[in-house]
Structure 1
């Protein structure tokens, strides 16, 4: 610790200077000889030269004080204006009134934050400022759950109106969900209900109403676009172009080349544009699932592997994918016909059910009871799990299978006798 220096002693203050003696008034006018001054009639011309008239300092002080007040008011006004500008820049924001004017299509990209969405809305003329949108949505938990996609908004909306609209289910358009097992044509279920196929799903996703005008395209529009399309321009992978062009119908050339998933379709796009967008995204997804020219099933091309994966998807539940894949490979290896009901029902636009004898006797490229080998194209949308099962089938000698559980599981057999016993078990359980 440092030592504190001793306190300095202040020197005594010097004694104040002596006061000046009081000023004595002049006796200039005191003498009696000037008592008659008012009566003097002499010449006053030289009196003005005696001394100039002193200025009036009080008037000057008033002028300076006025200027000072004006300057002070100006400074205060400038400071107040600057403070307001700074406050408004930091805490204030512009905002429109009301629910908006005309419709506008707005896109939220994957990963957009609330502030990013607000900035985009301001750029699109939906809100006056991004801050208006962000402030209005501070207490709305739905805003944090906004997903990427297209939304129908309005121009010149207040921040609160924009938050309410974009978080409502009716605002989002262009959603396309494609699930495994789906095919391009609609499927009629046993109870008569229709399960929409890819053509119908795309047509629905294209629909929105912008300023009273519909953006919908039809399933027939899409079908015609596939029929007339250049597959390479659509984004079909090179390994699939030649075999896909051998389909029995041109509108079936994209079967199996659409990957399952969620897609954002821009309403107002043409049929060709929608198809191209979905196909290009699917090509990447199929490769990510493990199928490529360098990764195929044993002795198969990539397209043949895709066909096998589509049959696996339609014939089995996920737990049986591997075993069914092995059954297909084993039958092909011994030149046994695949005899898959799913391929017969594909042409009939029905789900995988047992077929009768008359149906199995019908001719056609997809009848694997009548024709040896694989059908000409895939028959459904295969999942990544089905693709993996087709690329890497497990080891096994199974040649036969039959659904023997009500949950969809199958019983597999190596010999026909064993298969017949499994069929009888399935009947006892009411499965077939």
Structure 2
């Protein structure tokens, strides 16, 4: 490296004796002192540059590594606010949502308060009732409180849209009533719900597309009785409901989620392999769900397929009960003789019911698409746990029924 300034080289004091002059030693000493001063100045500059660079690097490290102060509120919060945790959200995304919704003063207030609590990684998707201006510690505690999460709607296999009154007078709430209850939320002391009436009106009068009905079912939905046109579209499972949504918005969110599930269960693919339309598969699956235990689904489905193949009426009590205000396990002669499209004992109602008669689950749909091989045309509950017996001929079936009655099965 060149040293044009002469900072790092000693002057040549060993000059030819002929060039020496009096006072030569003094001049050489002066030059050496000048070099030392220059070196001192240079290293001082270097030290300053390195020092300033180190300070900058230190503060950069503080910023990147999260060392240092951050904004945080004090206390348990002020007004109610609902936040949503989406499926797959990591803790950092939840922290950002809390900050954006005014719950915490900063994302770090939440992450720092909960950095040693492994439970934060287990927060489930859904809606949570929080407070504005909460401290990070308070926000962590509230997010982990099981009562903070807004209870989702839970639909079970066989549930129907309308309420059912049993023989003992007990009312079993239908999906619309359950959806109404799940929509309720109290914010700052004021409780708001979407009523069953609002939901029923939307279900019967709103544009099916606006309600989330898929294209593959539109023609069927548009031709059936409006009171039952959404039956079967809300599959069993949990549904996260957005607080404050309208009746149409609630139904659409639930049906859209459900249709995704139904299609994943094979409704569309089954329509290509069975000869039935997807909507008909949904209807068959609803009958399977109502008529037997899960272990018998495949055989019940086979009975339905076999009867439809020979143009034989289905003769199911479940379809008759679907239209009754007070259904019973065994329908009466009068009920079975009454005219109507859901009375599958009537010769005028051959084939499937106009709509599904309840919510079919995955197992029922799979059974509807892939029935168990067999020649059965009859079945009846023959054991007290609900197990069914299957027969190929009516005389065999008649004996099974008599035995079940004798044993007090029904």
TM-score by length of 1: 0.76
Equivalence map 1:25-424=2 (5 Å)? 86=62, 89-140=66-117, 142-173=119-150, 175-248=152-225, 250-292=226-268, 295-296=271-272, 298-349=274-325, 353-370=329-346, 371-424=349-402
For structure 1, which segment, 338-347 or 122-131, has the greater mean C-alpha deviation from structure 2 after superposition? 122-131
Quick check: 1:296–1:391 contact (8 Å CA) kept in 2? no
Q: How far off is 1:160 after superposition?
A: 1.6
> Whole-Å Cα distance in 1 between the matches of residues 406 and 108 of structure 2?
68
C-alpha distance after superposition, 1:180-222 (max 9, x if no partner): 1111012234443322211012111211122333331101101
Quick check: 2:79–2:132 contact (8 Å CA) kept in 1? yes
> Whole-Å Cα distance in 2 between the matches of residues 126 and 262 of structure 1?
27
Q: How far off is 1:174 after superposition?
A: 5.5
Quick check: 1:308–1:390 contact (8 Å CA) kept in 2? yes
Quick check: 1:118–1:134 contact (8 Å CA) kept in 2? yes
Q: How far off is 1:406 after superposition?
A: 1.7
> Whole-Å Cα distance in 2 between the matches of residues 128 and 343 of structure 1?
57
> Whole-Å Cα distance in 2 between the matches of residues 290 and 247 of structure 1?
23
Larger helix proportion of the pair = 2
Q: How far off is 1:277 after superposition?
A: 1.3
> Whole-Å Cα distance in 1 between the matches of residues 220 and 89 of structure 2?
40
Q: How far off is 1:388 after superposition?
A: 1.2
Counterpart secondary structure, 1:373: coil
> Whole-Å Cα distance in 2 between the matches of residues 231 and 343 of structure 1?
24
1:68 corresponds in structure 2 to none
Distance 1:344 1:277, change over 3 A: same
Quick check: 1:151–1:171 contact (8 Å CA) kept in 2? yes
Counterpart secondary structure, 1:173: coil
Consecutive unaligned residues in structure 2, runs of 5 or more: 1-50
Counterpart secondary structure, 1:105: strand
Q: How far off is 1:245 after superposition?
A: 2.1
Counterpart secondary structure, 2:210: helix
> Whole-Å Cα distance in 1 between the matches of residues 373 and 317 of structure 2?
24
> Whole-Å Cα distance in 1 between the matches of residues 393 and 351 of structure 2?
21
C-alpha distance after superposition, 1:2-58 (max 9, x if no partner): xxxxxxxxxxxxxxxxxxxxxxxxxxxxxxxxxxxxxxxxxxxxxxxxxxxxxxxxx
Q: How far off is 1:419 after superposition?
A: 0.7
Quick check: 1:174–1:206 contact (8 Å CA) kept in 2? no
> Whole-Å Cα distance in 2 between the matches of residues 131 and 224 of structure 1?
46
Quick check: 1:298–1:391 contact (8 Å CA) kept in 2? yes
Q: How far off is 1:297 after superposition?
A: 6.4
C-alpha distance after superposition, 1:294-323 (max 9, x if no partner): 635633222122111100000111111111
Larger Rg over CA atoms = 1
> Whole-Å Cα distance in 1 between the matches of residues 61 and 367 of structure 2?
66
Consecutive unaligned residues in structure 1, runs of 5 or more: 1-74
Q: How far off is 1:106 after superposition?
A: 0.3
Counterpart secondary structure, 2:84: strand
Quick check: 2:210–2:248 contact (8 Å CA) kept in 1? no
> Whole-Å Cα distance in 1 between the matches of residues 139 and 221 of structure 2?
46
C-alpha distance after superposition, 1:356-375 (max 9, x if no partner): 11221222221111222211
What is the CA RMSD across the aligned residues, in angstroms? 2.6
TM-score by length of 2: 0.80
Is 1:428 aligned to 2:386, yes or no? no
Counterpart secondary structure, 1:151: strand
Counterpart secondary structure, 2:359: coil
Quick check: 2:270–2:369 contact (8 Å CA) kept in 1? no
Q: How far off is 1:125 after superposition?
A: 1.4
Distance 1:101 1:403, change over 3 A: same
